[in-house]
Amino acid sequence: MRILFLEEAVSFHVKHVGLQLGSLIRISCVVHHLSKRDMHNDNPFDSPNVEKFTFKERGTRNVFWGLTIFLCANCLLLAWFLPGVAMVLAMLVVLPGLANGYIDYRRRLLAGPVDGLTQWGTMVVAFLQLIPFVPLGGLVMFLIAEAVVAYARATMPDGVSAWDVMAGYLMGLIGGILTYAAAVLIMLVWKVIGLNKSYRELAVSQPTT
């Protein structure tokens, strides 16, 4: 009886030691694998695994699209009565203002969600930013018109006729419109470049998962 008890105790002890050895072997394998992976990641000559950054847009564009539909509908209604005025208004005011507002809206989204009141304020300020370019275009128009009239006076011995003045101001109007459009385009391009730079900075600072 005592011999049987000793045999069972020895077999239990051997089995327990075997389980402990197996656990130690598995733990050592895991530690070796982790240390090898860390050494591989710390290798300065190995290319790092950079995960692609995805920026999820926050907020909504309800105000922007609502204002866009409203302004386009009014331009179409105005085109029914005054096609020329509607086309000029759409090309010089509505489209630049909406584009400017959308760029400013995307810039505000980088800081967090944007509520409706902030969206309205952004769109209003975007249209107000076009106002300084109007006197710039008017100044260019006046300078071109006066230059054409002065040239006509210097080259025509009979004096300047009304047609010469009209031609001068027509050329000035074209020059003023082109100046206004160029100034607005430069502003939009400058804002787009700044927005792309902000996106890149956010992508670099954003932790990857």
Q: What is the pLDDT of residues 47-57, one digit of tens each?
A: 444 444 343 44
20/5 Cα distance (integer angstroms): 23
The runs of H, that is alpha helices, within 42-132 are 62-81, 83-89, 95-109, 116-128
Do 172 and 145 form a contact (C-beta atoms < 8 A)?
A: yes
Residue 155: its pLDDT value, please? 81
Residue 67: its pLDDT value, please? 87
Q: 10-21: b or e for each residue (b if 16 or more CB lie within 10 Å)?
A: eeeeeeeeeeee
Structure tokens at 28: 């050592």
Quick one: DSSP state of residue 47? Answer: P
Do 139 and 173 form a contact (C-beta atoms < 8 A)?
A: no
The predicted-structure confidence for 55-105, as pLDDT tens digits, reads as follows 344 445 678 888 889 998 999 999 899 888 899 899 999 999 999 998 988
The predicted-structure confidence for 132-183, as pLDDT tens digits, reads as follows 999 999 999 999 988 888 888 888 777 777 787 888 889 999 999 999 999 9
61/102 Cα distance (integer angstroms): 9
